[in-house]
């Protein structure tokens, strides 16, 4: 079942996570953003833009899972592109989203 059709500027999906409300967060590689999608309606309900385009993954953390951590990539970028994208490869912490994540499941080996 198709859940959401990415807009052209959102580029391509990469890493994802779910929040406590059951909404899907998708890192948009080459789109410079993380988007929040309502899986019931298939609508994008929130967009968080970041200062570099190659956004690779997202997860919730912090004491109460109210912080989102977002990774980005710099691999494959030449020196000229890296000079224009000084934040490529950094990890970002986003606060104030108004939503929390859920604890991860641990499995015994």
Whether 78 is catalytic: no
Is 14 annotated in a binding site? The answer is yes
Helix (H) or strand (E) holding 60, with range, is strand 55-61
Residue 42: DSSP 8-state? T
Among 27, 32, 22, which Cα is nearest to 99's? 22
Q: Which of 14, 30, 38, 75 is catalytic?
A: 14
List residues forming the annotated binding site. 14
Catalytic site positions: 14
Binding-site positions for a divalent metal cation read 14
């Amino acid at each position: 079942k198709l859940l959401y059709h990415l807009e052209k500027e959102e580029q391509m999906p990469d890493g994802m996570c779910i929040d406590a409300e059951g909404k899907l967060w998708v890192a948009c590689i080459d789109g410079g953003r993380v988007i929040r999608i309502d899986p019931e309606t298939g609508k994008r309900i929130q967009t968080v833009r970041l200062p570099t385009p190659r956004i690779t993954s997202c997860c919730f953390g912090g004491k109460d899972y109210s912080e989102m951590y977002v990774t980005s990539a710099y691999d494959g970028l030449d020196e000229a592109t890296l000079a224009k994208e000084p934040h490529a490869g950094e990890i970002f912490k986003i606060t104030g989203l108004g939503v929390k994540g859920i604890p991860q499941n641990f499995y015994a080996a």
